Amino acid sequence: MATSTDAIILAVLLERLKTLIFTPALAVAEPGIDFPASGQTKPDNYLQVAFLPNQTRQVTMGDDPQQKRGLLQVSVYWKSGVGHIKPLDAAGRIIDHFKNQTMFASGVRITISSEPWAASPIQEDDRVLIPVTIPYHAFEPEN
């Protein structure tokens, strides 16, 4: 169970991502977890998550809750040779799934602070990568 503000934010954003259903399903490589699991091969198409917290912002004087800001980056990895339409569609679904969202957990309010965006497709050896950036801000719970 997450207890620090950053851990709560990451847990909530990951749970939101898990509610997005792709057909066929796309595996999710979460930060700090081996992917693929030992003895398995990497799937042709999958999502990879990076959590990028930024500098905390003090919005009031004193010990009031502070504003946490950062980015969640969900990168769409797609097997090369099928064009960019399918991975761009997957990126678009992620954008639509997160935009205009506010989520709550353990006294923390997490808001997607502006519309997420997809970067240009990046060709790797055997896959196309499309990073989707999701900006957030959150307020720490009061003690």
Contact 121, 87 (CB under 8 A): yes
Q: pLDDT of 51-66, one tens digit each?
A: 999 988 766 666 666 8
**In DSSP terms, which residues pair with 50 in a beta bridge?**
73
Buried b (16+ CB within 10 A) or exposed e, 115-129: ebebeebeeeeebbb
What are the extents of the domains in the chain?
5-139
The average confidence (pLDDT) of the chain is: 92
Q: What is the pLDDT along the chain (143 residues), one digit of tens a residue?
A: 788 899 999 999 999 999 999 999 999 999 999 999 899 999 999 999 999 999 887 666 666 668 899 999 999 999 999 999 999 999 999 999 999 999 999 889 999 989 999 999 999 989 999 999 999 999 876 65
Angle at 136 between CA 99 and CA 95, to 5 degrees: 25
CA distance 116 to 19: 17
5-139 — its CATH code? 3.30.2000.20
pLDDT value of residue 140:
76
